[in-house]
Amino acid sequence: MKKKELIPGEPCGLLRRLAIIFYDFAIVISLLILATMLAMLAGFRGSTALKDPGYTMYLFTTWFLYVTWCWNKGGMTVGMRAWRVRIEDEKGLKPGWGKSAVRFFASLLSAAAAGLGFIWSLVDSRQRTWHDILSKTRMIRF
């Protein structure tokens, strides 16, 4: 079987998206461990994620800032760079903070709905997920 040729600007498919999520998961877990170490050094030793609202929000904010900062700075996270994919808006520019925030929260919705927001890319003619559509952004290969 012939290997599919990479076409720059081609939409990112579901399997590549899942590989990126897996790759970035390791980065996010590492950042959350570092954030936890910093919290412990600051004296917050008895905090538990999902039980302590302040600590949970601190960890969630760490995750949010990593992803949105990466999208704004270079249009991609570390996992996206490894898989040669970037995020852009409808004008081909980096998404900006507003679109990045919408994309982040909409991606949580896509995942929380039993992954249907991601699976949607299999039926969309432009391979867009719910969070692509809601944030008016897209993931393209380069």
Angstrom distance (rounded) from CA 91 to CA 116? 27
Tell me the whole-structure pTM to 2 decimals: 0.89
Angstrom distance (rounded) from CA 119 to CA 112? 12
Q: Which two tokens stand for residue 118?
A: 């991601």
Please name every residue paired with 140 in a beta bridge, in sequence order, or none if there are none: 11, 86
Q: Which residue has the tokens 């709905």?
A: 113
For the stretch 44-101, pLDDT in tens is 877 888 789 999 999 999 999 999 999 999 999 999 999 999 999 999 999 999 999 9
